[in-house]
Chain A
């Protein structure tokens, strides 16, 4: 057990905290970030002429940022259903990879029907928290983890669609950092303890910057750029350092 991540060592002790409660706690910062991200999605939907309940319905049934933004833009532009479906498929394809990765770290209590239900909750953030967990993910943990982000995503969309620009921009701008703060809180301790992880995330950052700033590459959609950077860096990492550092290794 790694003493640095004090909160995790507490959660690993059986009976100390409930799995559901643990999930809720981990889901809270995601929910904060989602609220403000979906708030801007709600504003976007309203500006494109969608009714408030249409925007909220899309958020409640999709639970994904990039795909939804592309979706409402395609619908508003009068695109075909095929174009819409294809764009959703490509932008959200990364969730398939995440699903396979997450399947490696789930507890035996997560049966196939439960997976069909819980699979709905796989987002970049929820996946990353669940997959980087030291202990296998149980149904209760994953349900707890999904709950607040789902509420945050739905309510944020509602607030954005109905209230629009009521909150001062300085506040909404700053709150978008909540979600990145959470990413940092997950990656930094792991990179601190493993030089291999440090090297691999360094490669990921370099590729991501390359795709962000290079003239032709920066026209690639955000969803693609993320999946390419992540897959290329992880593949390079697996090739260079196939034996992951001990303790962090999952069964």
Chain B
């Protein structure tokens, strides 16, 4: 039992320090234009790398996931908000699941 707590504590501490230390200590504003551009692009590249191609395999059916993601892409292109796009992706995938089951 104590082994669990030692392990849980180790996980917590490592994960916490990796997150909080750079965020707390790095207070300087970056002025180098290349570094600024890099930091500007990072959130979008992180999100893209997490989504492509993993999202296509998230539901167990590539076709279902692709349809949900397509609907999300169209709605996002039209400027819909986060909640609407998220729920629409789920609803579209849910509908696609039933259509595929009905067809087969």
Contact = CB atoms under 8 A, between A and B. Distances in A.
Q: Do A and B come from one complex?
A: yes
Interface of A: 4-7, 25-26, 28-29, 32-33, 54, 57-58, 61-64, 67-68, 71, 74-75, 81, 84-85, 88-89, 92-104, 112, 115-116, 118-120, 122, 124, 127-129, 131-132, 169-171, 173-192, 197, 200-201, 203-205, 207-209, 212-213, 222, 225-226, 229-231, 233-235, 237-239, 241-244, 248-251
B6 A128 contact: no
A26 B86 CA distance: 11
Contacts of A103: 22-23, 26-27
5 contacts: A176-B58, A181-B89, A183-B55, A190-B44, A191-B44
Contacts, number: 304
Given A96-B22, A185-B85, A192-B77, A128 B43 contact: yes
A33 B39 CA distance: 25
B37 interface: yes
Given A115-B24, A183-B50, 7 more contacts: A92-B19, A96-B22, A100-B23, A101-B39, A177-B93, A231-B42, A242-B33
A84, A120, A184, A237 pick with most chain B CB within 10 angstroms: A184
Contact of B77 (A120, A188, A213, A249): A188
A156 B25 CA distance: 33
B52 A244 contact: no
B102 interface: no
B99 interface: no
B60 to A, nearest CB: 5
A62 B77 CA distance: 34
Given A120-B16, A173-B58, A177-B93, A84 B10 contact: yes
A170 B94 contact: yes
Contacts of B58: 173, 176-177, 180
B33, B41, B72 pick with most chain A CB within 10 angstroms: B41
Contacts of B84: 185
